[in-house]
Structure 1
């Protein structure tokens, strides 16, 4: 079964159970219409009590009884324990019972708690038969029904299928997934607030070994913008939307810039982080605003030039194709000059406020360029060239 086929089957299954969910008003209907079909989806025979056993017990003694709603059995021994709750129940308050069963049944290698739409999967990655405090995999079928499923979740579900599930290795696999989640959280934190050591490491890799502490503030902003641009490009690729933005490619492929060059050109040639933020935004926004393929194709011809005190953005030709001049705002964060024919000066704290001005001037510049091409072709035709 190829990955895309499995992903599609998950989506189809999620669509069905989300549709049925409103009719599940108690625990029994949740089990019958949502949870048992999920076990069946993973390949377990929910009609065979020797494989899916309801109300399975693992007791420390006659006094201390431990029951789970379902246990997946292998050779008569429980390997997966499933605790079921009524749809909409907060799962975080219901983990104690599952933890007790997990501890009482030595052969159990995975615990699941679910309300039929939200699933949390636990293992014993730190200590045998001691359920981890953190789920190594979490799944919300409502999000899956919307088409939102991470590769790591798809991979995790695949490993839980009956034909793939390995009780002896699930603890090690869970440990890897927990570490993966932790790394993702750290990356997210660095994207929002890059640390000084992290920024210095990136700069060293870019050929900038000696950067003064005072200059780090701007480089931290550049790092944050680079993270955002990286994520945006990956989203476009995931959606199979071609990106016309070549700025990131230029950044990646260009030779390392020495600190001497930056110091020499800082006032005249090197855009600031806010300049680049504006440039990346307007290219993405023009892609959204473009009503015709020709306009979308022309976005790759948007270019810029940095002067002391202003940042000029244009289409193909700096003078004839000028879109706007950008200045760091004094009263408000952004200050644009679109020229007298396209709204003049605009100050704002929200970039979405420039949509109308930006679209109008871009459409005009592209149409002027096309008209110029046609005139040139007519002249050449008349001259027999």
Structure 2
């Protein structure tokens, strides 16, 4: 199992167990220790992972931090843990106190779901107040997996991590600012664009009008970009499918007792493959059409259903499956609505891969 699969498996574990974890200690055992294991560290070897690591702070002796990850006899990562429901921003100062009295170059604040990585980019030996990498295991992005991999025991290199930490820190902050401006444009942001299309004085009334226009324009632009990328992905997937001749199509219809696979069903299948390509080899995703539904299967195995598309009736819907073969129906208005259920589709595909 590669690193990406391990993280996806851990993400599924977090989602299933979190509601049953009532204490911080339970969070550590069920979520955080498995995370450290997935990073290649032996959590039962105190030479690699030391629980309750002592950090003396000035006159305070015996101050402890939850875990210290070691390499070559020195701590490299200090880990401060909280219960999975706790807001981590409330506890940053505690890790700040530990950081400057340790040889560790990185601090990690986590509740088992959110993982915030810190270092000393702004002032040497003083931990930054903002993390350079922040990961939500329930919504982890592909590029974040690659950054997380740098902390794996097999790849850990301080200089390599620091070389990208500065860029990650400011990129993250810029994304946050841009997101705020897109959702709720500030007067300065609105004026920046308004002055490029309107030559007169921007009064308060005009500013209100342009605020609405800018918000609509941003929303429309994002929708266009997403639509274009989806079309490109569908074309790419379609180009990889073997061309079917008219003779082969006729043979398929006869073999399936008159079942006709519609273009809409094929497009739905392409969307599902595009979703699953992030977590599995899509060559393992197949379909079988039937009179009443279009089945998407793992390894072309009827005992491994991924989903079923019901497109032949007046009401279109998709049925997803969990690991116990429990069916869940989701009504859809268009093919794009399939993307609303990508979590369910990915989870069952990952389950089949691991089993």
Match of 1:184 in 2: 175
Q: Distance in 1 between matches of 2:228 and 2:125?
A: 42
Q: How many residues align?
A: 235
Q: Distance in 1 between matches of 2:226 and 2:76?
A: 38
> Does residue 53 of structure 2 align to residue 30 of structure 1?
no
**TM-score, normalization by structure 1:** 0.52
What is the Cα deviation at residue 77 of structure 1?
A: 0.7
Q: Distance in 2 between matches of 1:98 and 1:55?
A: 13
Unaligned runs of 5+ in 1: 244-290, 297-358, 360-385
**TM-score, normalization by structure 2:** 0.56
Q: Greater relative contact order: 1 or 2 (C-alpha under 8 angstroms, separation 6 or more)?
A: 2
What is the Cα deviation at residue 196 of structure 1?
A: 5.0
Match of 1:45 in 2: 42
Picking from 114, 118, 123, the partner of 1:127 is: 123
Match of 1:282 in 2: none
Distance 1:185 1:25, change over 3 A: closer
Match of 1:140 in 2: 136
Q: Distance in 2 between matches of 1:160 and 1:213?
A: 53
Q: Distance in 2 between matches of 1:13 and 1:48?
A: 21
Match of 2:77 in 1: 80
Q: Which runs of structure 2 are paired with 1:174-323 in the superposition (5 Å)? A: 174-191=165-182, 192-193=184-185, 195=189, 198-199=192-193, 203=196, 211-213=199-201, 221-236=212-227, 293=264
Q: Distance in 1 between matches of 2:33 and 2:174?
A: 34
Secondary structure at 1:181's aligned position in 2? helix
CA RMSD of aligned residues (A): 3.6
Q: Distance in 2 between matches of 1:67 and 1:229?
A: 52
Is the 2:106–2:118 contact (alpha carbons within 8 Å) kept by the matching residues of 1?
Answer: yes
What is the Cα deviation at residue 14 of structure 1?
A: 0.5
Q: Distance in 2 between matches of 1:183 and 1:87?
A: 27
Is the 2:108–2:115 contact (alpha carbons within 8 Å) kept by the matching residues of 1?
Answer: yes
Deviation digits for residues 41-84 of structure 1 (CA, Å, limit 9, x no counterpart) = 12222232211111112324564333211111111111100012
Match of 2:61 in 1: 64
